Amino acid sequence: MRAKIIGTGSCLPEKTVTNNDLSALMDTSDEWIKSRTGISSRGLVSSETETTLSMAVSAGTSALANADLLPEDIDLIIVATVSSDFVTPSTACMVQSELGAVHAAAFDINAACSGFLFALNTVDAYFQAGIYRTALIIGVETLSKIIDWKDRSTCVLFGDGAGAAVLCADEEGIMANLQGSNGSGGHVLMCRNRTNNNPFVSTDPSMDYLYMDGQEVFKFAVKKEAECIQELLTQAGLAPTDINWYLLHQANQRIISSIARKLKLPLDKFPSNLDHCGNTSAASIPILLDEVHRAGTLAPGDLVLLSGFGAGLTWGAALLKW
Ligand code: ACO
């Protein structure tokens, strides 16, 4: 049995911050941000009650309703995030408690922007092994709390949000998938956790924020994501034109356009929400999936290719029949 998506949900923060709002706070402009990235605005959490957990629960609740399942029906919850509210318990365990998904095993995955795909592929492996039959996976980030708001080259890129999918074991669904990592490239995109703090070690009191070598990440993304898609298509015995929709990680519109060009495909096969979401890391693919699903874009039987890359470095892709 393979994993089939039977419901989707998402949650964006209440507050929308435009490029012009940012240009009032720092030396940037709507023209620079839009032309370099395709981003016009992004959602940012703006109250203490809006958290990684609250957005994950909201997206998960919406996906369960969309799938017409109850929390008690779920065997497994995986949350993909690098910005959980607590070091422990995991966000997945907290989601389980909030939803009342009393029969589910729950854990988090940290694969940055590829996290949702790693979660999807993990569920597929569990289903193929016959261990579980239903799952809820959520990609969620409040990257705004780990971004250096004095670093204009990163802070304008990211947004907060959550996206979720409910899966059940079925004869049709995921047709092919892959994932990979290159830890030796991790230094181009990183964020340090709390430093040592015990009586026997001197501590650096400064908090670390997200660091990114934008041009290196850009080169990695364009090369690796295109290779990943080609490899998946070869695995499935399909040509680029056979795929109805490419839902790629929403990091930069120029990366998406470059991949469309490499595959010799029109851009209208590549839906995008960068314009109003920015880069929401692990949440970007499931938010986009929920948007196109709810807009009625995906028809039964459509071939949908999901692909992403992120810190680690990591990459992943999945081909599914809708
Ligand atoms: N506003 C105005 N000017 C800016 C800003 C800003 N917000 N940020 C940087 N600049 C300036 C720089 O200082 C530089 O000025 P200089 O020429 O006087 O030195 C100039 O703009 C060009 O900067 P570059 O870094 O060369 O700009 P580039 O064209 O490479 O675009 C960008 C930067 C958008 C970050 C690009 O490199 C990129 O998209 N990289 C990939 C990022 C990515 O995909 N990240 C996500 C990866 S995984 C994940 O999602 C976590």
CATH number, domain 1-183+207-322: 3.40.47.10
Alpha-carbon distance of 44 to 280, in angstroms, equals 10
The residues, ordered by sequence, that sit 6+ positions from 25 with a Cβ below 8 Å of its Cβ are 149
Is 187 marked active-site? no
Cis peptide upstream of residue 89 (ω within 30 degrees of 0): yes
CB of residue 153 inside a 6 A radius of ligand 1: yes
Per-residue model confidence as pLDDT tens for the chain (322 residues): 999 999 999 999 999 999 999 999 999 999 999 999 999 999 999 999 999 999 999 999 999 999 999 999 999 999 999 999 999 999 999 999 999 999 999 999 999 999 999 999 999 999 999 999 999 999 999 999 999 999 999 999 999 999 999 999 999 999 999 999 999 999 999 988 877 778 788 766 555 789 899 999 999 999 999 999 999 999 999 999 999 999 999 999 999 999 999 999 999 999 999 999 999 999 999 999 999 999 999 999 999 999 999 999 999 999 999 9
Alpha-carbon distance of 106 to 166, in angstroms, equals 14
Per-residue confidence (pLDDT) for residue 206, from 0 to 100: 59
The residues, ordered by sequence, that sit 6+ positions from 209 with a Cβ below 8 Å of its Cβ are 146, 147, 148, 151, 191
Is 168 marked active-site? no
Helix axes 214-236, 253-262, angle to 10 degrees: 40
Cα 274 to middle of ligand 1, angstroms: 16
pTM score, whole prediction: 0.95
Per-residue confidence (pLDDT) for residue 32, from 0 to 100: 97
Alpha-carbon distance of 181 to 296, in angstroms, equals 34
φ, ψ at 304 (rounded to 5°): -120, 125
Residue from 30, 36, 315 to probe ligand 1 pocket by mutation (most atoms less than 8 Å from CB) = 36
Per-residue confidence (pLDDT) for residue 205, from 0 to 100: 59
**Catalytic option among 155, 249, 252, 273:** 249
CB of residue 222 inside a 6 A radius of ligand 1: no
Alpha-carbon distance of 79 to 135, in angstroms, equals 11
Per-residue confidence (pLDDT) for residue 201, from 0 to 100: 82
CB of residue 221 inside a 6 A radius of ligand 1: yes
Is 182 marked active-site? no
Which tokens hold the place of 102?
Answer: 């009393």
Per-residue confidence (pLDDT) for residue 203, from 0 to 100: 67
CB of residue 279 inside a 6 A radius of ligand 1: yes
